[in-house]
Amino acid sequence: MELLSQIWNNLLIEPMINSLVLLYSICGSNFGLAIVVFTILTRGLMFPLTVKQSRQMKAMTALQPKLKEIQAKHKNDRSKISQETMKMYKDQGVNPIGCLGPMFIQMPIFIGLYQAIMKTVPSAPENLIVLSRYLYGWLPINREAIPIDSTFFWLDLARPDSYVLPVLVGISMFVMQKMTSMPAMDDRQAQTNKMMLWMMPIMFGVMASDKILGGGFPSGLAVYWTISNIVGIVIQGMITGWEPLINLLTFFKTKKKLQPALISAGVNEALIEEQEKNETDTDDRENSRGRNRNSSDRVRRKSPRGGNRGRKQR
């Protein structure tokens, strides 16, 4: 276990800490700007993998009609559907797992950056000694930059934000999920995609806030995640097109335009229903009066005949 921890520190934590401190020095002692530049550089290193992921997704989208044909042809044999689907993927050179590559790679970066930020901006002066153990001795500019000022606009990047950054994390992740969502092969997968589309942004938004669950991750990490999502959206749009984002904006725009009309229509329908109900009640009362009058007339007509018969018998 200690060996794994040492490997983790040497391969991920130390390079991140030294990169952040170096960028802090280059960016005019602005730690927030250093995190933004670090994020862009990280996404730049992952650019080839992101391009491959985007092309895989575009190829899978193009195969949707053939997938539906396979499902219709073998609708009662799920094993055959799986075999034919994998055969088609192999023939077309498509790897569904390849679409998840950047997400798997970003998670260790996310965890490592959390530890790097907590160590780079220590909460107590004595923790500076711990930070000095991670700094490279052959890079004296990093030692001169310590201690680091963690303020960025209204934020303390070593502490979680309350509202603004959590909302930005959730929105940017929602759009990113929408841009990179995998094509669904059946209703079950479509339902799973829909659940993930909403669950992941909400979960990360909650984790970024200090108002829920007793605190969240540092604002610096929320800045990284937001910028990473924005860069990912731009790359995805340039490679596979902006159709998912356009559809999303069109949906909200159409919904906003239709809302007053729907409200008006709802009011009109309520008035019509009330009027129809009043008319129905009026008709029912008139019919009831008519039935009562007819019943009274029948009683009056029957009464004399009954009386005459009685007199004749006597």
Q: Express each pLDDT in 180-227 by its tens digit.
A: 776 666 677 778 777 888 888 888 888 888 776 556 778 888 888 899
Contact 223, 32 (CB under 8 A): yes
* pTM, to two decimals: 0.69
- Per-residue pLDDT for 243 more than 70? yes
How many alpha carbons lie under 13 Å from residue 257 in its C-beta half-sphere? Answer: 6
Report the pLDDT value the prediction gives residue 58, as an integer from 0 to 100. Answer: 76
Q: Token pair for residue 305? A: 């005949």
Q: Is 73 left (phi over 0), alpha (psi -120 to 50) or beta?
A: alpha
- Which has more pLDDT, 285 or 40? 40
Range 246-267 average pLDDT: 62
Show Cβ contacts of residue 173 under 8 Å, excluding neighbours closer than 6 positions. Answer: 200, 201, 204, 205, 225, 229
* Alpha-carbon gap, residue 186 to 240, rounded angstroms: 22
d(CA 175, CA 200): 11
Among candidate residues 66, 37, 39, 35, the one with its CA nearest the CA of residue 232: 39
**pLDDT > 90: percent of the chain:** 5
Torsions phi, psi for 134 (to 5 deg)? -95, -15
The share of the chain scoring above pLDDT 70, in percent, equals 72
* For helices 219-240 and 47-62, angle between their N-to-C axes, nearest 10 degrees: 50
| Highest mean pLDDT (candidates 14-23, 98-107, 155-164, 298-307) | 14-23
- Checking if the pLDDT of 49 tops 80, the result is no
Question: Rg of the chain's alpha carbons, rounded to an integer?
Answer: 35
DSSP class of 97: G
Judge whether residue 45 has pLDDT over 70. yes
Per-domain boundaries in the chain: 2-161+216-239, 259-301
Q: What is the pLDDT of residues 78-97, one digit of tens each?
A: 788 788 888 887 777 777 66
Confidence of residue 98 (pLDDT cuts 50, 70, 90): low
Output b/e per residue, 122-150; b: 16+ Cβ within 10 A: beeeeeeeebeebbeeeeeebeebeebeb
**Of the candidate ranges 167-171, 203-207, 248-252, the one whose mean pLDDT is the lowest:** 248-252
Q: Is the pLDDT of residue 267 over 70?
A: no
pLDDT at 237 over 50: yes
CB 140 within 8 A of CB 92: no
Q: Which residues contact 70 (CB under 8 A, 6 or more apart)?
A: 81, 84, 85, 88
For residue 17, which phi and psi values (nearest 5 degrees)? -60, -45
Compute, in degrees rounded to 10, the torsion defined by CA atoms 202, 207, 213, 217: -170
How high is the mean pLDDT of the chain?
A: 75
More confident: 7 or 300: 7
What was the pLDDT predicted at 266? Answer: 52
- Cβ atoms of 223 and 36 closer than 8 Å: yes
Among the residue ranges 25-34, 70-79, 123-132, 232-241, the one predicted with the least confidence is 123-132
Average pLDDT value for residue range 274-298: 55
**Cis amide bond preceding 140, omega within 30:** no
